[in-house]
Amino acid sequence: MVQANSGADIAVVGLGVMGRNLAANLADHGAVVAGYDLDADRRAAFAAAVPGAVPCAAPEDVLSVLKTPRVILMMVPAGPAVDALLAILLPGLAAGDVVIDGGNSHYDDTRRRARLTAESGIHFVGLGVSGGEEGARHGPALMAGGTVEGIERVAPLLRAIAARAGDGEPCFARIGPDGAGHFVKMIHNGIEYADMQLIAEGYHLLRHLGGFSYEQLADRFAAWNGGELASYLMEITADILRTSDPETGAPILEVIRDAAGQKGTGHWATTTAMQLGMPAPTIAEAVHARCLSALKDERVRAAAAFPAPPAPAVADPDAFAAGVGDALLCGRIAIYAQGFAVIAAGSRQFGWDVDLAAVASVWRGGCIIRARLVDRILDALRRAPDLPNLMFDPAITALLAEGEAGWRRTVGAAVAAGQPVPAMASALAYWDGYRSERLWANMIQAQRDFFGAHGYERTDRPGMAHTQWVR
């Protein structure tokens, strides 16, 4: 518990939904919270909602109301706004002060800002915050990147407001230096994109191939949420499927336009994986799927111009649903395997020494991707911290083996019916590719050598070789 005394313990700059709710959460745990926002209405809402709030009329004012060393939590949009705010605050800060960026900043920006502030002895913490509005108010998952000293100074505050896992442990950890926290939050969001896409495909197949009513779908997803598929996203999917539009009385999904938006973190996760040379095809497909969904007008024209093949009748809806459940679980395993592999690659690339088990521990509560599978992953990483891929864990391998046949049937049925399942299919291709002793890449290497003399590695001796190709 943080004890309040003279002066504010922390200032929150940026009092939108996330900032205001984090401020209220901090106040609930005994912190005296100062706050500033450009918007006067937001400042008023902060003063009304946060016990003991210390509203400030200008960003510079927060410096005078804080205890020393000062702690400032920035909750402003990622990008130029963070740099602009830093430029205002830095002249008034002193060595030992801590500035926390709780937005979805790109990890490279966080690394740059950490170097900049370090020149003055100021600690910059890149804090990944997951859980949305509810999490911010009642307990988010918090992934911190920064110096040990800087994070230790703010750890009591962050531990106090973090979500609690089933064993009571706070869902907060120092992930590593500089941009490590925002890197892990970026991959968290990539996994979130992919799992949402996977679930959406499952719903769509059951609705349009299986013939399930919305009530039946809600019951099915609620039942899945009681087993291995249990997750926050499954829970809210069941709730969505039970919701009716208050204006028309129709199921809410019947009045929501099928064109999804995005804010960029999925794109960052995809491009970062590519830069690191790590396959994350399902995260990439989830981003592409949203882009495809946005082409609504073109899709309407194409649907009329290029009819899909007739959908084969589903003889046994319950068996079909069981296969969809297998595809959801196995696909989720593949998604998390891709994400953790990218985190490990980033850790190696940037010298962060990220503890993957600590990442899994943080993701057990508060965050959008909390799921029963995360507990399985934590057990796996505690047993074998150096797993090259989560799918090597015997318990996880057993889940894949049990669900593989249904996964394949589901993807096959979707393809036969002309129903796109980019997440399910790419996850299956990842699994099949990862466990293939011999792939098709010898042909690609031969082609590259043919047209570009790039060379190739031989199977019978080390080193590069080149063939004088004859047409």
Give per-residue pLDDT as tens, 243-259.
999 999 999 999 999 99
What is the C-alpha separation between 461 and 464, in angstroms, rounded?
9
- The total number of residues shown for the chain amounts to 471
Q: Is the pLDDT of residue 433 over 50?
A: yes
What is the C-alpha separation between 391 and 46, in angstroms, rounded?
46
Q: Is 404 among the catalytic positions?
A: no
What share of the chain in percent tops pLDDT 90? 95
What domains are there in the chain, each with its CATH number? 10-178 (3.40.50.720), 186-434 (1.10.1040.10), 441-471 (1.20.5.320)
Q: Is the pLDDT of residue 416 over 70?
A: yes
Q: 0.75 cut: is pTM over it?
A: yes
Q: Between helices 80-89 and 107-118, what is the axis angle to 10°?
A: 10
123 in Cβ contact with 149 (< 8 Å): yes
What is the structure's pLDDT at 6?
54
Q: What is the four-CA torsion angle of 105, 108, 114, 115, rounded to 10 degrees?
A: -150
Secondary structure (DSSP) of 345-375: HHHHHHT----HHHHHHHTTSSSTT-BHHHH
373 alpha-carbon distance from chain centroid: 15
97 in Cβ contact with 123 (< 8 Å): yes
3-state helix vs strand vs coil in the chain, percent to 5 = 55, 10, 35
The number of helices, as runs of H, and strands, as runs of E, in the chain is 19, 10
Catalytic residue among 119, 185, 247, 254: 185
Q: What is the mean pLDDT of residues 197-222?
A: 97
Give per-residue pLDDT as tens, 227-240.
999 999 999 999 99
Closest C-alpha to 71, from 153, 15, 126, 5: 153
Q: Is the pLDDT of residue 326 over 60?
A: yes
18 alpha-carbon distance from chain centroid: 17
For 90, the token pair is 């830095």
For 467, the token pair is 């063939």
What is the structure's pLDDT at 406?
98
Closest C-alpha to 332, from 128, 142, 193: 193
For 303, the token pair is 């649907």
What is the C-alpha separation between 19 and 183, in angstroms, rounded?
21
Give per-residue pLDDT as tens, 254-301.
999 999 987 788 999 999 999 999 999 999 999 999 999 999 999 999
Q: What is the mean pLDDT of residues 172-184?
A: 98
Q: Is 192 among the catalytic positions?
A: yes
Tally of CB atoms within 10 A around 384:
13
443: which residues sit within 8 A by CB, 6+ positions away? none
For 15, the token pair is 């009092």
Q: Is the pLDDT of residue 458 over 70?
A: yes
Tally of CB atoms within 10 A around 383:
12
What is the structure's pLDDT at 1?
32
Catalytic residue among 67, 149, 192, 402: 192
What is the C-alpha separation between 45 and 126, in angstroms, rounded?
26
Give, in order, the Cα–Cα distances in Å from 314 to each of 76, 212, 407: 50, 11, 16
What is the structure's pLDDT at 471?
81
What is the C-alpha separation between 45 and 54, in angstroms, rounded?
12
| DSSP-derived 3-state class of residue 55 | strand
State the amino acid at position 190 in one-letter form. G
Q: Which helix (H) or strand (E) segment is 98 a member of?
A: strand 98-101
| DSSP-derived 3-state class of residue 214 | helix
What is the C-alpha separation between 180 and 414, in angstroms, rounded?
39
